[in-house]
Every structure is written in C-alpha cells, then in structure tokens.
Amino acid sequence: MYERQLAAWGRGAAGGRALPDPEAEPARIARYFAGLTPAQRAGLAERYPLVVGNLPGAPLALRYRANRLAIEDARREERGRMRDERLSPAGRHEAGRRMHRLESMLRPERRFLAFDPTGRGRAAEVFGDLERAARISLVVPGADTELLTFERTRGRHTAPSGMARALYRQERVQRPGALRTAVIAWADYDAPDGLTMSAAIAAPAAAGAERLAEAVRALPGRVPVALFCHSYGSVVCGVAAPRLPGRITDIAVTGSPGMRAEDVNGLRTGARVWALRAEGDWIREVPHLAIGPLGHGADPAAPEFGAHVLSAAGSEGHSGYYEPGTESLRNLARVGAGEVEEVTCAPGAPSCAPFTRCAREGRARERPA
C-alpha cells in the first residue's frame, strides 16, 4: 500500500509544482508545504495519506490527519480480510486482531506522527503538544514491537504506547504547570522478533538507527530531546548515538543487552547516559559481548561502562520500568523533565556520584528498613 502511494506521489503535483522527494531534507519539505494553500495540503493528505503521514518536514497537524486517514484505510482492509474465505481461520483471526488494534488507534484523542501497516507494522504516537513543548522525550521500544503489540490491555505499561503515556503523565507530576513536555512512543522501526536470532544481531538496530536519527532531526523547534531506550531499543540508540543532533541531552536505557559500545566514550555522544536495571530483570544473565555482528557489547549498567546508574526500585522483571509508582519511572521522568539533580542512584553506583544530591538520596532511599 505504501509503495503504491509512494510511486503515485513521484508522478504527482500540487499547485502546478512537482511533489518533493520524500528523501529531501525536512526543511526543504517544510518550505514546499508552506507554499501550498490549505486546500492543496489537505488534498495531498487525502490522496497520499501514507506518504504525507510519514513525511518529515510536513506540518504536524497535516501528518496527524493523514495518519488517521491511513489508519481508517487499514482498518477497512483488515475488516475485509476477516471475511475473506481464501484466508485460513488463523489468517482471519489475525486480521480481526489487527482490525481491533486499529480501531483503538482511531480514538479521537490519539495522534500519530508515523504509521505504516506494511508487514508487522510501525507507528509513532504523540502525547502532549509537540510544537509548543519545552522538552521532548522519545521512547524507543525493543524486540517484538509491531502494531499488535503497540499497546496492550493487560500489562499496558510494557507496550510502547503505555510506556510513553506513563512517562508523559509522570513528567507532568514532576513539574506540574511549570514545564510543558511532549512524549513520543517511537515504534517506527522494524524491531526483531524476540524469539529469533535477529534479536541477537546488530543489523535491525543499524536500520532502526537510521530511522531514529532522521526522526529526531525532523522534530520541530530546537528544544532539548531525551531518548528512553528499552531492551533492544537501547541497541538502536547506541548505534544511532554518534549521528544524533546536539539537541539530544540525555539517553536513558532500561533492561539493556548492550549498546554496541564498550563504554560511554565509545558512543561518541555529548549526551548524558543513564542506565537502569531491575533486580529481577533476566537481561542480567545475557552475555554482554560482541563478536562481529553477534551480540551487543558491554553492559551499560556495569560501573566500568561509565553511565549514571539509577535506581529501578519497584520495577519487576524485564518490562516493568514504566509501571506507575516505581522509582524507575520517577527517575526516567526526572531525566525527561531535565531535573537530573533529583534522580536517585542504584545502591553503590559510583558512576552516579557526580550528581551529589543523587548519590546522597540514592543511598538513603535504598537503605533497608
């Protein structure tokens, strides 16, 4: 579907001018749309929703509108597949699951910065006012991320949409009324299947890193941006780190298998690097090594890596870092809100010592009763 629209876009025009190359710099695309009338912009969104909705540089409101149209189109297609007798019962059941997920994504309050139903599907959802935000947080999820797992009814805060929503709400708690923030659930890369070898190699991360760097460069304004990277998403962030713009102030990783670097210096970034790992996270048992394309390198939560290791108190398992009420979520929100002097450290984390208040409070809060 996307490829068909992209091909048609290449032959199209608006206002007597050929449509811009989707690979052009966001600033150039922004100038093109600025030269169109509202009716012409709306017409492009209706004819090419998958292109406009995923076009860095296009007006945000137009992208939100285009992606809603694209989701409506995808829902209609899945509804038809549910009744298609040429499909197996399992295929029709899968179509039904996708149709219900797409219906949820069409709730009036939801806004999507990116959407593509091709294959397992990709999406990026926005919480808050992205254009007026004073700080932006971007959540990069890990393996097994697709349209069907973009949100969950059970364990909602383990899915990308729920993680970002929880972070957004907690950031508002951190600075009520004093700081306007926006959070993006960025599941706009082809994440590996966690049950296959693809989750143990760097190739999916390399492709995801390119998309992540492009997405960050296309964000509106010049306000600070923090990345929150979970599990395999931390591999994506690690590979992307050297090519990210200077507005990235912080990179926080949770449950990381590695960042394809031996230490913080190997990331070649000026951003502060934070790491959280829950006591019961099985990722601690994964060998932290990299041999050619296999493995993801050193443990970001190890003292020798050089990251600021934060308390994950209250978090359970590999995917509980964004659960409301946990110290892990509070610490992530403090980073996102720019209140790094308020974070609490993991017990005995010397790499967190530069933040003196952090080190003091971390020891006090983690002391057994």
Q: Does the model's pTM come out above 0.85?
A: yes
- In this predicted structure, what is the pLDDT of residue 362? 40
* Neighbour-count burial for 320-330, b at 16+ CB within 10 Å, e otherwise: bbbbeebbbbb
Q: Provide the sign of the torsion angle of the four alpha carbons 285, 288, 289, 294, taken in this order.
A: positive
What's residue 369's pLDDT?
29
The Cα–Cα gap between 231 and 229 comes to 7
Enumerate residues 6+ apart whose C-beta is below 8 A from 231: 141, 142, 143, 254, 255, 256, 257, 283, 318, 319
- Tell me, what's the pLDDT at 349? 78
Phi-psi region of 166 (alpha: psi -120 to 50; beta: other; left: phi over 0): alpha
Plot region of 121 (φ>0 → left; ψ -120 to 50 → alpha; else → beta)? left
CB 231 within 8 A of CB 276: no
The pair of three-digit structure tokens given for residue 73, joined into one six-digit string:
């189109």
d(CA 347, CA 161): 30
Distance of CA 12 to the CA centre of its chain: 32
| Beta-bridge mates of residue 114 | 124
Spatial distance between the Cα atoms of 119 and 239, rounded to a whole number of angstroms: 24
Per-residue confidence in pLDDT tens, the chain, 369 aa: 788 999 999 999 998 899 999 999 989 999 999 999 999 999 999 999 999 999 999 999 999 999 999 999 999 999 999 999 999 999 999 999 999 999 999 999 999 999 999 999 999 999 999 999 999 999 999 988 999 999 998 899 999 999 999 999 999 988 776 679 999 999 999 998 865 544 555 678 899 999 999 999 999 999 999 999 999 999 999 999 999 999 999 999 999 999 989 999 999 999 999 999 999 998 887 766 555 565 567 899 999 999 999 999 999 999 999 999 999 999 999 999 999 988 999 987 765 655 544 443 343 333 332
d(C-alpha 333, C-alpha 228), whole Å: 10
Burial class (CB in 10 A: 0-12, 13-18, 19+), 294: exposed
What pLDDT sits at residue 194?
66
Distance, CA of 186 to CA of 175 (rounded, Å) = 23
The CA distance from 268 to 131, in Å, is 29
For each of the domains in the chain, give its residue range(s) and CATH number, in order of start: 1-109 (no CATH), 119-369 (3.40.50.1820)
pLDDT at 11: 93
User: At residue 201, what are phi and psi to the nearest 5 degrees?
Assistant: -120, 165
Structure tokens at 33: 């749309």
**DSSP states of 278-292 as a string?**
-TT-GGGGS---EET
Alpha helix (H) residue ranges in the chain = 2-11, 26-34, 38-47, 49-53, 60-82, 89-105, 160-174, 203-217, 232-240, 327-336, 356-366
At residue 367, the pLDDT reads 33
Angle, helices 60-82 vs 89-105, to 10°: value is: 150
**Treating both helix axes as pointing N-terminal to C-terminal, what angle do 203-217 and 232-240 enclose, rounded to 10 degrees?**
60
Neighbouring-strand partners of residue 139? 185, 228
DSSP string, 160-189: HHHHHHHHHHHHHHHSTTT--EEEEEEE-S
